[in-house]
Copies of this chain bind each other. A is one copy, B any other.
Amino acid sequence: MQAEIICVGTELLLGHVVNTNAAFLARELALLGFDLHHTCVVGDNEERLCEALARAIERSSLVITTGGLGPTLDDLTKKTVARVLHRPLVHDAATSAALKTFFGTRPYDGNQEAQAYFPKGATIFANNHGTAPGCAVTADNGCLVMLFPGPPRELEPMFRDMALPLLEKKMGASIVSFMVRTFDIGEGNAATRLGSLCEQQNPTVATYLGAHNEVFVRVTAKAATAEEAKALALPAVEEVKRRLGDVVYGVNVESLEEVVVGLLRERGEEVATAESCTGGMLAMRITNIPGSSAVFRTGLVTYANETKTRLLHVPSDMLARHGAVSEEVARAMAEGVRKDAGSTYGIGITGIAGPDGGSAEKPLGLVFLALATPDETYCCKMQPKGIYRGRNFVRERSAGKALDMLRRYLEGKPVQHELI
**Could you say which of A65-73, A195-203, A289-297, A365-373 contacts chain B?**
A289-297
Whether A39 lies near B13 (C-beta < 8 A) is yes
Whether B279 lies near A287 (C-beta < 8 A) is yes
User: Most chain-B CB neighbours within 10 Å: which of A20, A25, A28?
Assistant: A20
Whether B290 lies near A280 (C-beta < 8 A) is no
Q: Answer whether residue A164 sits at the interface, using C-beta atoms and an 8 A cutoff.
A: no
Q: Answer whether residue A237 sits at the interface, using C-beta atoms and an 8 A cutoff.
A: no
The interface residues of chain A, by DSSP majority, are classed as mixed
Residues of B contacting A112 in the complex (Cβ-Cβ under 8 angstroms): none
Whether B38 lies near A22 (C-beta < 8 A) is no
| CB-defined A-B contacts under 8 Å, sample of 13 | A12-B22, A12-B26, A13-B36, A15-B22, A15-B29, A16-B27, A19-B19, A283-B283, A288-B395, A290-B391, A297-B307, A298-B301, A299-B301
Residues of B contacting A38 in the complex (Cβ-Cβ under 8 angstroms): 13, 40-42, 48
What does the 1/0 interface line of A184-227 toward B look like (CB < 8 Å)?
00000000000000000000000010000000000000000000
Contact of A298 among B26, B302, B391 (CB under 8 A): B302
Using a CB-CB cutoff of 8 Å, which residues 334-392 of chain A contact chain B?
341, 354-356, 391-392
A222 to chain B, nearest CB (A): 16
Q: Answer whether residue A420 sits at the interface, using C-beta atoms and an 8 A cutoff.
A: no
Q: Answer whether residue A306 sits at the interface, using C-beta atoms and an 8 A cutoff.
A: yes
Residues of B contacting A277 in the complex (Cβ-Cβ under 8 angstroms): 287
How extensive is the interface on chain A, given as a class? 35 or more
Interface positions of A (Cβ within 8 A of B): 12-20, 22-30, 36-43, 45, 48, 208, 273, 275, 277-284, 286-288, 290-293, 296-304, 306-307, 311, 341, 354-356, 391-392, 395
Q: How far is the CA of A297 from the CA of B276 in the complex (A)?
A: 9
User: Most chain-B CB neighbours within 10 Å: which of A279, A291, A296, A302?
Assistant: A279
Q: How many copies does the complex hold?
A: 2
Whether B356 lies near A290 (C-beta < 8 A) is yes
A102 to chain B, nearest CB (A): 12
Q: How far is the CA of A296 from the CA of B301 in the complex (A)?
A: 10
Whether B296 lies near A303 (C-beta < 8 A) is yes
Q: How far is the CA of A297 from the CA of B292 in the complex (A)?
A: 26
Whether B290 lies near A299 (C-beta < 8 A) is no
A104 to chain B, nearest CB (A): 13
A211 to chain B, nearest CB (A): 12
> With A25-B15, A280-B287 known to touch, is A304 a contact of B297 (CB < 8 Å)?
yes
User: Nearest B residue to A16 by beta-carbon distance?
Assistant: B208
Residues of B contacting A302 in the complex (Cβ-Cβ under 8 angstroms): 297-298
User: Nearest B residue to A273 by beta-carbon distance?
Assistant: B301
Contact of A283 among B22, B23, B24, B280 (CB under 8 A): B280
Q: How far is the CA of A355 from the CA of B40 in the complex (A)?
A: 38
